Amino acid sequence: MARKLPPVNVVLVGFGWTAAILGQELTDAGLNVLALERGGWRDTSTDFAVTFAQDELRYYWRRALFEEPARETLTFRNSPDQTALPMRHLGSFLPATGVGGAGIHWNGQNWRFLPSDFVAKSHNTQRYGALQEGMTIQDWGVTYDELEPYYDKFEYLCGISGKAGNLGGKIQSGGNPFEGPRKREYPNPPLDMVYGPTLFAKAAAETGHKPFPCPAANMSRPYTNPLGVTLGPCTYCGFCEKFGCGNYSKSSAQTTILPVLMRKKNFELRTQCEVLRVNHDDAAKRATGVIYVDAQGEEWEQPAEIVILCAFAQHNPWLMMLSGIGKPYDAKSGDGVVGKNYAYQIVSSVDVFFDDKIMNPFVGAGALGVGVDEYNGDNFDHGSLGFIGGGYLACWQTNGRPIEYHPTPKGTPKWGAKWKQAVAKNYLTSLSIATHGAVMSHSNNYLDLDPTYRDVHGRPLLRLTFDYTDNEHKMSDYLTDRAEEIAKAMNAREVHAKKRTGHYSIVPYQTTHNTGGAIMGTDPKSSAVNRYLQSWDLHNLFVMGTAVFPQNPGYNPTGTVGALTYWAADAIKNQYLKKPGPLVQA
Amino acid sequence: MGDPRNRSRGFEMAGTPVSRRDLLSAGVVIGSTVALGNQSAEARSYSGAVPWTPGEANAPTPVEPGPFQYLTQDEVKFLDAAVSRLIPADNLGPGAKEAGVTTFLDRQLAGGFGKASSWYMQGPWKKGEETQGYQSKMTPAELYRAAIKGIDTYCAGKFGGKKFAELSTDEQDEVLKGVEGGDVKLDGADSKSFFKVFLQNTIEGFFSDPIYGGNREMVGWKLIGFPGARYDYRPYVKKHGEKLNLPPVGIKGRPGWNPST
């Protein structure tokens, strides 16, 4: 039996990027805010200090900063007719546990979505006619123009390094000409560029593209953000994504918000406290608080006037299902909303091998690279291509960590003397072009509760049913072909295009861009939260993170997650607190 | 944190831990099932200050030299021979055996990785599709033990009583290819699953920081030109196309700084 604690104004479930932003914004509004984090306190000097942060085995391969499947995992299958089995160790994606969440080990690739991405359904049907059968994409209920100030706010919090491509509608040379209009430049100039991406930029320009430095949450110079927190310049150490930054040079909750938030007396953080479910009074259409368990196994009831789910992506809809909030999605009928429209990303690459060009791949940063955006979203005519959506192409130089990075040409054996020779020959003289494609939502890609497997607390695991559809494969092949054309213009010894083929697999690492399951929209029949990320069912429950994406556009999600969080915080502070109740009438 | 109802607000520099006495007085049973893997710790509350404890850092634990902790003598012989085929010594330099990969594997199998301590290891158990990943009941340590025994048994049957380590290198390569492709069936272990994890761990041992027992004298890093655990490459970003020839350095430094690296 859980023992009841004194109420707080706001309880935040999880303490990563979105909770840190909300903690800061809502304590500023005078509220008492409590964050409950299932993992421990984490900080630069104690957990990934520069004296030992560069440890490939410990942090990536032995998963030091990530979620432990022994405690919580999910089950997975490709289609509803299969039996889902547990993801027994991490692979395809890497959620985190602990303060700062996955924002500690992200690359820092910080993008805005295209204006047309937010109206994907109406835009695409207007231009190309009816959607493919089974495709369940929706409009977001919020527009790019509405989000622009909040994108800006997150970029200035983080100190993003980049070059604007569109200032107030005027295209800027050197930036991404396809981006939506922005009101001002990035807070910091682009990072210095290493060799490989400059070769890609040259080849891309020669083949008629407009390459640009990718926006990075790695600091190109010292930066003090609007909260007064200072980040140091990036040292290009190559231990960035999948690692914590030892140098205070990558934006995270730790390096941008916590030094201010943690000092506030109206904020409290409890670590090693895992929320099991949300309590609610359906008659009153209100959440009443949460039940959590601490590391000793003791259960507590924490009443709160506002409950905000800030856990990693799919954990938020999981908590809603475990708490009986919202109507669960039924894939057969298409009814219900919670668990609907899980999506991911589809990625491929083209490896380029030179004989004589030294790349020094170990000089890198998580978001150091040159991009090409001609084939993203609806930046190109999809005419008779047979798919919608797209993605960017980029030549990143993030790392030369040798367990992970030791490229070999096509046909090289996987071990033995020839493998060793190929690794030694190509390590310094190769690069790779990545494609980063959208995933449109589909009626058979969804989340629900597993009937068999349980987590460490005895709760049913989340069950993931997901596969790429024809739309994704066609699109990804198209992107890979375009990347190969640019690669061939680089006059290399050898080009090896690695298309994404077959069914989605939970095994190899692809990306931690899991989306959907508690999607936002304009209608409670087809979405779980409204345009302010407020539950349609319980007006004092809000849901953050990528779970609210109705489908997944062709960019990394964090920039939009940050913008949506500031947008929701603004609505809570300036609308909800004045008149608690539904912010949108159903 | 103790009982969160009694938490004193204010400047708690390193968070307030739950004391055993708090729990006992609250009638709580200590030692619950939630403390698994490497992330078990006590609940804490933080408010009013940035947590900070002087002199506290979660530094890595280097392996200690000394006798094998998990592997038997037969398993050591097998692994010395097998890792020499995966990454052989040649005119480019030392191979996996010379790099200490067998010691690396021993320490990994004896520790959390070998025990699958962070993996979800609850049944029911089903084989599943390839896309659903590892579904064996065996921990990595158990898988190595069963597979090595199985391969030696297979070799004895096929090569007149000889164990894997006693075969010619060509014969060893042939056996390993059979294990890799699944043509060599093993008693008590799935050959393909074993080969996958064995190859991955061998590459880890060859290229990870020397504090974990492999990559001795940083031979893996020297082979490819990886400078190791450095943290500032700003002077080199714009040196496009130049070979830098930076000598590698590990977390503990490098020979010459400290004889034990």
3-state SS, A498-520, equals ECCCCCCCCCCCCCCCCECCCCE
What confidence tens digit (pLDDT) does each residue in B162-185 have? 999 999 999 999 999 999 999 999
Contact B132, A506 (CB under 8 A): yes
For chain A, say whether B21 makes contact (Cβ under 8 Å): no
Q: Please report the ipTM that was assigned to this predicted complex.
A: 0.97
Residue A132 CB neighbour total at 10 angstroms:
14
Q: Active-site residue among A105, A442, A513, A539?
A: A513
Distance from CA of A564 to the nearest CA of B (A): 27
- Say whether B15 and A360 touch across the interface (CB within 8 A): no
Going by pLDDT thresholds of 50, 70 and 90, the confidence category of residue B34 is very low
What confidence tens digit (pLDDT) does each residue in A204-217 have? 999 999 999 999 99
For chain B, say whether A95 makes contact (Cβ under 8 Å): no
Residue bearing tokens 């008693």: B187
CA distance A514 to A521: 18
- Say whether B42 and A295 touch across the interface (CB within 8 A): yes
pTM: predicted TM-score of the whole model, two decimal places? 0.95
pLDDT at B4: 63
Residues of chain A found within 8 Å of residue B7, distances taken between Cβ atoms: 268
pLDDT at B36 over 70: no
Share of chain B above pLDDT 70, in %: 83
CA distance A537 to A524: 8
For chain A, say whether B57 makes contact (Cβ under 8 Å): yes
pLDDT at B17: 52
pLDDT at A503 over 80: yes
For chain A, say whether B122 makes contact (Cβ under 8 Å): yes
Quote the tokens at residue A569: 């915080």
Residues of chain B found within 8 Å of residue A427, distances taken between Cβ atoms: 224-226
CA distance A579 to B109: 59
- Say whether A268 and B53 touch across the interface (CB within 8 A): no
Set out the domains of chain A in order of their start, with CATH numbers: 3-576 (3.50.50.60)
Quote the tokens at residue B92: 């480019």
Q: What angle (nearest 5°) sits at the alpha carbon of residue A264, between those of residues A263 and A270?
A: 80
Residues of chain A found within 8 Å of residue B218, distances taken between Cβ atoms: none
Share of chain A above pLDDT 90, in %: 99
- Lowest average pLDDT, out of A107-121, A453-467, B8-22, B43-57, goes to B8-22
DSSP label at residue A548: G
Distance from CA of B146 to the nearest CA of A (A): 20
Distance from CA of A451 to the nearest CA of B (A): 12
Span A103-110, average pLDDT:
98
pLDDT at B20 over 60: no
Residue bearing tokens 């350095």: B249
Q: Which residue of B has its CA nearest to A257?
A: B50
Contact A546, A561 (CB under 8 A): yes
- Say whether A427 and B226 touch across the interface (CB within 8 A): yes
pLDDT at B207 over 60: yes
Contact A221, A189 (CB under 8 A): yes
Q: Is position A513 annotated as part of the catalytic site?
A: yes
CA distance B61 to A63: 15
Distance from CA of A12 to the nearest CA of B (A): 14
Span B232-237, average pLDDT:
98
Task: Tell me which residue of A156, A548, A493 sits closest to A340, measured CA to CA.
Answer: A548
Q: Which residues partner with A328 through β-bridges?
A: A338
- Say whether A57 and B9 touch across the interface (CB within 8 A): no
List of residues 6+ apart from A170 with CB closer than 8 A: none
Q: What angle (nearest 5°) sits at the alpha carbon of residue B82, between those of residues B78 and B84?
A: 125
For residue A562, give the amino acid letter: G
Residues of chain A found within 8 Å of residue B39, distances taken between Cβ atoms: 39-40, 68, 71, 97-98
For chain A, say whether B118 makes contact (Cβ under 8 Å): yes
Contact A91, A538 (CB under 8 A): no
pLDDT at B16: 56
- Selecting from A62, A270, A457 the residue whose C-beta is nearest the C-beta of B43 gives A270
- Say whether B18 and A269 touch across the interface (CB within 8 A): no
- Say whether A40 and B41 touch across the interface (CB within 8 A): yes
- Say whether B131 and A78 touch across the interface (CB within 8 A): yes
Chain B segment 233-252 residues within 8 A of A by beta carbon are 233-234, 236-244, 251
For chain B, say whether A586 makes contact (Cβ under 8 Å): no
Length of chain B in residues, anyone?
Answer: 261
Quote the tokens at residue A328: 């669960």
Q: Which residue of A has its CA nearest to B237?
A: A194
Quote the tokens at residue B171: 């014969």
What confidence tens digit (pLDDT) does each residue in A395-447 have? 999 999 999 999 999 999 999 999 999 999 999 999 999 999 999 999 999 99
Q: Which residue of A has its CA nearest to B50?
A: A262
pLDDT at B255: 75
CA distance A576 to A584: 11
Span A534-545, average pLDDT:
98
Question: In whole angstroms, how far apart are CA A467 and each of A35, A321, A406, A526?
Answer: 35, 22, 29, 21
CA distance A428 to A406: 9
pLDDT at B25: 36
Going by pLDDT thresholds of 50, 70 and 90, the confidence category of residue B42 is confident
**Mean pLDDT, rounded, of chain A:** 98
B170 compared with B53, residue with greater pLDDT? B170
CA distance A88 to B119: 5
Contact B204, A57 (CB under 8 A): yes
- Lowest average pLDDT, out of A94-108, A257-271, A520-534, B55-69, goes to B55-69
pLDDT at A175: 98
Radius of gyration of chain A (CA): 23
Residue bearing tokens 């259409």: A285
Residue A490 CB neighbour total at 10 angstroms:
21
pLDDT at B56: 85
* Most B CBs within 10 Å, among A78, A363, A504, to test the B interface: A363
Q: Which residues partner with A541 through β-bridges?
A: A307
Quote the tokens at residue A278: 């949300």
Contact A450, A322 (CB under 8 A): no
* Most B CBs within 10 Å, among A46, A48, A57, A459, to test the B interface: A57
Q: Is the dihedral of CA A543, A22, A38, A43 positive or negative?
A: positive
- Say whether B118 and A69 touch across the interface (CB within 8 A): yes
Distance from CA of B218 to the nearest CA of A (A): 12
CA distance A216 to A212: 12
Going by pLDDT thresholds of 50, 70 and 90, the confidence category of residue B1 is very low
CA-based end-to-end distance of chain A: 37
Q: φ, ψ for residue B256 (rounded to 5)?
A: 105, -35
Contact B109, B70 (CB under 8 A): yes
- Selecting from A294, A300, A503 the residue whose C-beta is nearest the C-beta of B131 gives A503
What confidence tens digit (pLDDT) does each residue in A203-254 have? 999 999 999 999 999 999 999 999 999 999 999 999 999 999 999 999 999 9
Span B103-118, average pLDDT:
98
Q: Are strands A33-36 and A267-271 parallel, antiparallel or unpaired?
A: parallel
Q: What b/e sequence results for A223-256 when a residue is b if at least 16 CB atoms lie within 10 Å of its CB, and e otherwise?
A: bebeeebebebbbbbbbbbbbbbbbbbbbbbbbb
Residues of chain B found within 8 Å of residue A87, distances taken between Cβ atoms: 120, 133
Distance from CA of A282 to the nearest CA of B (A): 27
Q: What b/e sequence results for A438-460 when a residue is b if at least 16 CB atoms lie within 10 Å of its CB, and e otherwise?
A: bbbbbbbbbbbbbebbebbbebb
pLDDT at A428: 98
- Say whether B223 and A424 touch across the interface (CB within 8 A): yes
pLDDT at A586: 84
For chain A, say whether B229 makes contact (Cβ under 8 Å): yes
What confidence tens digit (pLDDT) does each residue in A172-210 have? 999 999 999 999 999 999 999 999 999 999 999 999 999
- Selecting from B36, B47, B130 the residue whose C-beta is nearest the C-beta of A505 gives B130
pLDDT at B117 over 50: yes
Query: What is the Cα A51 distance to its own chain's centre?
Result: 28
3-state SS, A424-474, equals HHHCCCEEEEEEEECECCECCCEEEEEEEEECCCCCEEEEEECCCCHHHHH
Which DSSP string corresponds to A321-351?
A: HHHT-SPBP-TTT----BTTT-B--EEEEEE
Task: Tell me: cis bond preceding A190? Omega within 30 of 0 counts.
Answer: no
